[in-house]
Structure 1
Amino acid sequence: MKTKTILLTLTTLFAAAESGDAQTAPNDKKVLVAYFSHSGNTRAVAERIAAATGADLFEIVPQKPYPAEYRAVVNQARREIAADYRPALKTDLPDAGRYDVIYIGSPC
């Protein structure tokens, strides 16, 4: 059975990309970088990690965009977390079973 590695914190992803220590996956490993980016910062880090590891890149985009104003998006996120809400996505997620390593990035 394939071992799946999922890194869940943007801090880890950012530190690896910034230090140049993001490991290149062995040629026989299939890697995915999936990310949600509200302002573009997470997108930039995800792109760097994908380039460093040779990974496929997938942007998580909700069907209904989040507000651009900071306080409004924070308040909406709090309500969604409290309600255990999962927004519908514009596109289907890639088949996670195809990947050996999955990096996940999101705003903090």
Structure 2
Amino acid sequence: MVLTLAGCGNAGNSTESENVDTTEKVNTEAESEEQNTEPAEGADGTEKSETKILVAYFSATGTTKQIAEQIAEVTGADLFEIMPVDAYSSEDLDYGNDDCRANREQNDSTSRPEISNTIENIENYDTVFIGHPIWWGEEPRIIDTFLESYDFSGKTMIDFCTSGGSGISTSEGNLKELCSSDVNWLAANRFSSDTDVDTVRDWVQSLGIETKNNEWRKR
């Protein structure tokens, strides 16, 4: 189920595991016999997907991944994990070390860690959730890389994060600055590591967005 945005000492406000496969949800649509049916593509361009919602996220230790999967579950969205070319090791995330990789990146606002995978059909999505941990009060720089890699013009976007206490307001402002002015931003939200799916469902419902999975509204 796979198909994202400060040095580090406090970057440890997030807990995150990695290496998740991109998963697309596949629906088939009946067409007239005279028409040729060509499958639409999921986020990685390999499978058919009818959903208009994408959950894109970066997760260094697994916490954000968990929330992203819950959002996808209740909305029927496609998942896309933002995967760095160079995966973050435990040493890279040693926030007590001022010279650890995460601290160096967060201290450099121009840092743009390279992403190894791509979304082949961003134009197919009307609504995009962007998920990430909080490192030193901000989104990790790889989220900035992601936002600068695609055109989100005219889309509805929702920022969400995981952290042990730091808020999302700084990240929310940063993400808005990286996108065009015609993006429709809905209210962002911070989740803790022990957030359950019912809490996620209540939040998604409060956004008032159209979802493919209607069953979640009945639970």
Identity of aligned residues (%): 43
Shift of 1:101: 0.4
The structure richer in helix per residue is 1
Which amino acid is 1:84 matched to? Answer: T
Cα deviations by residue, 1:45-80 (Å, 9 ceiling, x for unpaired): 000000100000000100111122432598423322
SS at match of 1:51: helix
Shift of 1:94: 4.2
SS at match of 1:42: helix
> Residues 53 and 87 from structure 1, CA distance in 2 versus in 1: closer, same or farther, beyond 3 angstroms?
same
Runs of 4 or more, structure 1, over 6 Å off, are none
RMSD: 2.6
Q: Note the 1:1-108 alignment, pairs <5 A.
A: 30-69=52-91, 70-71=93-94, 75-81=100-106, 82-108=108-134
Q: What 5-or-longer segments of structure 1 have no aligned partner? A: 1-7, 9-27
> Residues 35 and 76 from structure 1, CA distance in 2 versus in 1: closer, same or farther, beyond 3 angstroms?
same
> Whose RCO is larger (CA < 8 A, sep 6+)?
1
Q: TM-score, normalised by structure 2?
A: 0.34
> Residues 90 and 102 from structure 1, CA distance in 2 versus in 1: closer, same or farther, beyond 3 angstroms?
same
Higher Cα Rg, which structure: 2
Which amino acid is 2:70 matched to? Answer: R
Residues 37, 107 of structure 1: 8 Å contact kept: yes
Q: TM-score, normalised by structure 1?
A: 0.64
Which amino acid is 2:118 matched to? Answer: D
